[in-house]
């Protein structure tokens, strides 16, 4: 059950879990605030704790609101596109052959049929992004399954508006945001490990944090860097 506490103009969603410590989080892109507290914590105690962290909450929200937003892609000549954390310029060629995408260290070349519209170009790039992730993600899963002692029965790629990943621990599935193809590979690995750990520890419990710290000691830096990167231009909603 989730309850809400209001402190001035800040709403905080409070949930109680089987954890030892309070976890306060400010979530991108809009600065939504959540507080996870031990099961027996009274709402007044959670409120008092949140009040002591008001300055930090406002700092995190201000940071998110000032973040650069990625302008909508038009898929035109010399437009900037990110791939694995590196900026590339787009080259568009029109040929009456099957559409394709190639990449070198500075440039992404999109080959389309004459007269192709924005939606078609976006679809071609999106399918290419998924193909790159389908090449990369299985290598990460294979690498980490024996280390974490878990088995991923299936993974899925999809556009997600508010999360980098999610998991269904009951059936061993993980889902990953296709936007990850734009991020550095070490950050993608952090997200994959994070979701794989949820297969054995579904909540952000103390044990989960301990395991994540054991396997990815720099996970806090990775999370901060991931959230510091430009947000997509579309309006994100829950």
Predicted TM-score (pTM) of the model is: 0.71
Q: How many CB atoms lie within 10 A of CB 158?
A: 10
Predicted pLDDT at 67? 63
Residues 6+ apart with CB under 8 A from 84: 181, 182, 183, 184, 185
Query: What is the number of residues in the chain?
Result: 238
**Alpha carbon distance 86, 184 (integer Å):** 8
Backbone angles phi, psi at 156, to 5 degrees: -135, 145
**Contact between residue 190 and residue 179 where contact means Cβ atoms under 8 Å apart:** no
**Alpha carbon distance 114, 101 (integer Å):** 15
Q: 175: closest CA among 183, 161, 185? A: 161
- pLDDT band at 237; cut points 50, 70, 90: very low
Q: Which residues pair with 52 in a beta bridge?
A: none
What whole-number percentage of the chain has pLDDT above 90? 68
Domains of the chain: 2-65 (no CATH), 80-228 (3.30.2010.10)
Backbone angles phi, psi at 139, to 5 degrees: -65, -35
Q: How many CB atoms lie within 10 A of CB 28?
A: 19
Predicted pLDDT at 4? 94
Quickly list H helices, 53-104. 54-65
| Three-state secondary structure call for residue 184 | coil
Q: 159: closest CA among 177, 134, 133? A: 177
- pLDDT band at 30; cut points 50, 70, 90: confident
**Alpha carbon distance 126, 138 (integer Å):** 19
**Alpha carbon distance 99, 12 (integer Å):** 48
Mean pLDDT estimate for the chain: 89
Q: 18: closest CA among 37, 5, 4, 3? A: 37
Give the relative orientation of helices 219-228 and 185-197 as an angle to the nearest 10 degrees: 120
- 43-80 pLDDT, tens per residue? 999 999 999 999 999 988 887 776 656 667 888 888 98
């Amino acid at each position: 059950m989730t309850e809400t506490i209001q402190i001035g103009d800040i709403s905080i969603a409070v949930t109680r879990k089987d954890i030892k410590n309070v976890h306060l989080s400010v979530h991108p892109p809009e600065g939504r605030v959540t507080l996870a507290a031990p099961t027996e914590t009274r709402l007044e105690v959670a409120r008092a704790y949140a009040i002591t962290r008001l300055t930090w909450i406002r700092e995190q929200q201000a940071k998110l609101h000032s973040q650069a937003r990625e302008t909508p892609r038009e898929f035109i000549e010399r437009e900037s596109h990110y791939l694995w954390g590196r900026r590339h310029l787009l080259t568009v060629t029109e040929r009456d052959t099957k559409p394709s995408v190639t990449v070198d260290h500075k440039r992404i070349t999109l080959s389309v049929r004459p007269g192709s519209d924005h939606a078609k170009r976006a679809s071609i790039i999106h399918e290419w992004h998924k193909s790159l992730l389908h090449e990369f993600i299985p290598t990460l899963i294979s690498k980490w399954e024996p280390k974490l002692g878990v088995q991923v029965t299936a993974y899925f790629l999809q556009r997600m508006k508010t999360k980098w990943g999610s998991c269904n621990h009951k059936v061993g599935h993980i889902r990953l945001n296709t936007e990850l193809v734009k991020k550095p590979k070490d950050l993608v690995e952090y997200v994959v490990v994070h979701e794989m750990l949820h297969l054995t520890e579904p909540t952000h419990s103390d044990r989960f944090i301990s395991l994540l710290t054991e396997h990815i000691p720099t996970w806090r830096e990775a999370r901060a860097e991931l959230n510091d990167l430009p947000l997509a231009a579309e309006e994100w909603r829950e």
